[in-house]
Structure 1
């Protein structure tokens, strides 16, 4: 086959990235949408499907907010007191040809810039980059303006916020004023299916596929990811090319063996944490608690009840039904993400195997007074203790006023403890854990035991071992290993989770543990340099976006760290971390590289395409 003429002009590394990008897209086919992911926040107002409109909007330095001809303010959302990074937005022009999203993200990281969102467009690449704060945006303007990157002088300027998708559709006549739904033809196959089936396809797309087939699909997905990693390793470390070639022959095209996909012990009703939106139902029923059937940028805010979905526990559904009954009788309306009016926004339900139930209610106070909010909280407490909601067994009730949120993360929102216990308590691998409302805990407890047992087996620990548990949450991984090692050091940025971890260590009689609160990129370099143990193992379990590049660089520099177990909930998002661990040493990446030794997937999310991926990396001597 003769390569395309344009491809011949690219470097070998760029060509490999181009191929891997296409393979990565294949790997993502069929990915499900989790309950939390369907929430539409004001910071996600992006409609990237029409590139021409993006280019037009980017070609103006105009900062005045306009009202369109129909009277709908397509920029109203930036005036409200809610977080949106769209007001701290820049456009970067004259980017290098063939630059990828990964290239741009790494370039910004090297310049000590921390963007909130990056959108890359066009044959002559330009990018929109947003930041969480004005000072971060101004720093980016100063640092990037005129900087030379790959022989290109960058041009940077302020960019207009993105227009609200629904307001824009209304302006274009695509939405009826009476029902706020798009004037689009509905496919016959959709009309023939019930709403419960449609929402099941959104949140649990594999719900009607036999479980053995689900596992096979996930295995193929993991093999695609490992295939991408294999190609990337060869492209970024020429010294590894003979090793890569040998590994591919041994393991069917991948850089390390895949030890299978371990099944979940429970296939239904496994989620111990669920997040539900509150809105107008797809069937016209007001004040519905569930999930969105479509995306906000597609012009729909309709919510479908979750009562028939297979991954939600019966106890959680009881809480949802009781809460829905309450809000339907209350005088307060649901919050509208289009008009920013209304009150009821979201319900989060957490349960434990110890029969505890925590409910967190998110409410926009609008112009309600403090006494009115206090009265509402009192009514809710009475409803769940004495009223019709008593039977659903809520043992812990929290209330959050979301009107003043300055961050995209719900975890940054202060909570009012309204009733009952302040914490959940859960048993895992023979240990007893306290869990705060915002603290991370794996959503499938039984499958988490399988995952953490595999981590312990791979770590190859003894009484002289020191374990660095990065992104440790409530301390689950580290504490489960503590009896077999000399020292556990956990790092976590959530203050609530760190407090839980310290309490959990005491509750379980473990004294050889230390938990530190802060960002991993700030703490890890200092912590790892202070450890003199030659029997050191690092276990990292970061959020979906992966580890900060500074953490990976610190890992590479710490030559006494020989073994690393990476727990990835989104392997594609973590690919840059994997590659940086294995790439050749350079002026920027110091220290000997790692190589993947083996991989294992654990199915924590039956009925979806998600899974947890473990990769054991060992340093090359």
Structure 2
């Protein structure tokens, strides 16, 4: 889900403030490198701040520094504090030890409102102060300036931090560099990968256990027993499930391990190749904020499927015959930006190209789409076997988000179809579908088992995507209600329910924090189970509060692709009741990881939580 175009507004900022702050380590160096940035020369193309001069949006224009923050606050504390006062920040960069933060906004009004409201406000005994902050330097131009200093004979002791390491990395073959960047565990035996991930999840669960003890003293007797039984964890951690074997087919009798070539969706950037070849389609060697835009072909990356590599090679040939330049995140000029490839086990392939039209006339864009159609249906691109092709206009903006952009159908089918757990699912360009289908079957089968469903149960499928989880469980329950932000995915989910002959499923489009509380309150059944599979950042706090308040919701299955990011959700589900958090808490019952992302450190986890039954035992150590 990652290799998208870069958003300068998403680059976190770390400018220095005044000489009295006790900065240390890397943070100190970061801040001092940016000090007095406004005074630096800004001449034409060499300006490290030119990106804020154009007409494109970047939240760096509307940035403030909040000083004298209370000790020991975290990112969420600051965000909640601002939200409480009607302030909606775009980005927050907190330096808690130094007691200050940089906050950016989407417009001038929000920035000015914050300065008026927060300046002089008392928070936990501290009087806050707010002042304007300087924008962050463009990482590419900043690195270029540093490199010029190195080339000019700067002594090693004065080289920017990391320059020597960068030289060592450059000595490695490009194939090794890109493998390290996108599949960092490529040279680790698979059994060892699984052990590493199991230990990582164990550490997360041990931390959650400590946090539950800190936020819910009533659970301490139960926690004491659990920790003794489960190696300092509050519940059993089951053995990680590996990415399963792919069964043999008629054309290839050899059994293939799905540790390689497993991704059914890849996002490729388009840029200058590490080999100097322009209009290269592939993965970046590093991040833009790290000062790197070099792109490497995915031909030797082991997690990308053969079908996707074939599309990349064919598409790259096409764009190199066109007069249109690669889009530059540095200058915001150029056209070709990104290629997304989606594949299915039935060998259907969808390609989505992201193009910045700049000021090209409409006829020229129509001609380009016609050329794409001809190339992939009758020309050389026909060999890539694309079955569905879409064209997306990115527009004059820096945002990396693409979910809200219209997809123009160029050729082939409007959808591709995947089979999962014996069911058929329609997939649109923007719809979410797990990137490793066989492993997703393992994941969803476990979710269905853990949810302990019956024919009287109502299932709430939150962040349902194309409806895979809810639809796979529908025949075992009374009703399934799905909630999903992406309207395109909701249309797919409705079509999927109909195609699979289901009549007890309904789907709603909207933000979970807006839709879920209303739907939850409308459910009259006493047997309600929620299954949540949110994006990486976890559920909005409003959803967590609604879950806690709905006492008839007794069981929750939480699927997380980043357990660390979801930690605050877990803690809030288990914390003691308060004026803010109403309703009896939940507690963890069992946890398991499923390896959907071999060759990387990522995995999915399933966490089963059950509501504490206050009436059953005064010490609150039992669940319903």
The TM-score normalised by the length of structure 2 is: 0.88
Indicate the residue corresponding to 1:608 in structure 2. 600
Whether 1:150 aligns to 2:116 is: no
Of 187, 209, 221, the match for 1:208:
187
Of 288, 312, 318, the match for 1:326:
318
Indicate the residue corresponding to 2:496 in structure 1. 504
- Structure 1 residues 397, 176: closer, same or farther in 2, change over 3 A? farther
Q: How does 1:11-22 map to 2 (within 5 A)?
A: none
Matched residues in 2 for 1:357 and 1:138: separation? 48
Indicate the residue corresponding to 2:204 in structure 1. 225
Of 99, 102, 108, the match for 2:82:
108
1:242-278 Cα deviation digits (max 9, x unpaired): 2111111010111111011111112111101000011
Whether 1:571 aligns to 2:563 is: yes
- Structure 1 residues 203, 173: closer, same or farther in 2, change over 3 A? closer
Indicate the residue corresponding to 1:165 in structure 2. 139
Greater displacement, 47-56 / 597-606: 47-56
Whether 1:487 aligns to 2:479 is: yes
- Structure 1 residues 138, 319: closer, same or farther in 2, change over 3 A? same
Q: How does 1:414-425 map to 2 (within 5 A)?
A: 414-425=406-417
1:195-224 Cα deviation digits (max 9, x unpaired): 112101111111111111110000000001
Indicate the residue corresponding to 2:155 in structure 1. none
Paired residues in the alignment total: 580
Indicate the residue corresponding to 1:131 in structure 2. 105
Shift of 1:188: 7.3
Contact 1:58–1:159 (CA under 8 A) maintained in structure 2: no
Of 33, 36, 51, the match for 1:77:
51
Greater displacement, 158-167 / 386-395: 158-167
Shift of 1:378: 0.9
Whether 1:310 aligns to 2:302 is: yes
Indicate the residue corresponding to 2:72 in structure 1. 98
Whether 1:193 aligns to 2:156 is: no
Indicate the residue corresponding to 1:45 in structure 2. 11
Q: How does 1:384-533 map to 2 (within 5 A)?
A: 384-405=376-397, 407-533=399-525
Contact 1:82–1:403 (CA under 8 A) maintained in structure 2: no
Contact 2:74–2:96 (CA under 8 A) maintained in structure 1: no
Contact 1:603–1:611 (CA under 8 A) maintained in structure 2: yes
Contact 2:42–2:50 (CA under 8 A) maintained in structure 1: no
Shift of 1:99: 2.0
Matched residues in 1 for 2:165 and 2:73: separation? 39
1:447-504 Cα deviation digits (max 9, x unpaired): 1111010000001011100011111111111111110111111111111011111111
Matched residues in 2 for 1:550 and 1:302: separation? 41
1:144-195 Cα deviation digits (max 9, x unpaired): 3433221122223343322212223444563899xxxx99557675355321
- Structure 1 residues 73, 97: closer, same or farther in 2, change over 3 A? same
- Structure 1 residues 425, 114: closer, same or farther in 2, change over 3 A? farther
**Over aligned residue pairs, what C-alpha RMSD do you find?**
2.4
Contact 2:7–2:398 (CA under 8 A) maintained in structure 1: no
Matched residues in 1 for 2:149 and 2:447: separation? 51
Contact 1:582–1:594 (CA under 8 A) maintained in structure 2: yes
Whether 1:240 aligns to 2:216 is: no
Matched residues in 2 for 1:561 and 1:109: separation? 27
Contact 2:529–2:554 (CA under 8 A) maintained in structure 1: yes
- Structure 1 residues 69, 383: closer, same or farther in 2, change over 3 A? closer
Of 336, 341, 345, the match for 1:353:
345
Matched residues in 1 for 2:450 and 2:144: separation? 56
Greater displacement, 378-387 / 156-165: 156-165
Indicate the residue corresponding to 1:249 in structure 2. 228
Indicate the residue corresponding to 1:273 in structure 2. 265
Matched residues in 1 for 2:99 and 2:535: separation? 29
Indicate the residue corresponding to 1:22 in structure 2. none
1:270-311 Cα deviation digits (max 9, x unpaired): 101000011111111221111111222332211111101111
Matched residues in 1 for 2:312 and 2:415: separation? 20
Whether 1:344 aligns to 2:336 is: yes
Contact 2:7–2:399 (CA under 8 A) maintained in structure 1: no
Which secondary structure state, in structure 2, belongs to the residue aligned with residue 310 of structure 1? coil
Matched residues in 1 for 2:441 and 2:114: separation? 43
Matched residues in 2 for 1:286 and 1:270: separation? 28
Matched residues in 2 for 1:226 and 1:582: separation? 13
Matched residues in 2 for 1:329 and 1:37: separation? 24
Matched residues in 2 for 1:173 and 1:447: separation? 44
Indicate the residue corresponding to 1:365 in structure 2. 357
Indicate the residue corresponding to 2:286 in structure 1. 294
Contact 2:5–2:329 (CA under 8 A) maintained in structure 1: no
Matched residues in 2 for 1:278 and 1:295: separation? 14
Shift of 1:417: 1.4
Which secondary structure state, in structure 1, belongs to the residue aligned with residue 520 of structure 2? helix
Shift of 1:511: 0.8
Greater displacement, 263-272 / 217-226: 263-272
Shift of 1:122: 5.8
1:424-443 Cα deviation digits (max 9, x unpaired): 11111111111110110100
Indicate the residue corresponding to 1:29 in structure 2. none
Contact 2:6–2:398 (CA under 8 A) maintained in structure 1: no
Contact 2:12–2:91 (CA under 8 A) maintained in structure 1: no
Which secondary structure state, in structure 2, belongs to the residue aligned with residue 262 of structure 1? coil
Matched residues in 2 for 1:308 and 1:278: separation? 17
The TM-score normalised by the length of structure 1 is: 0.88
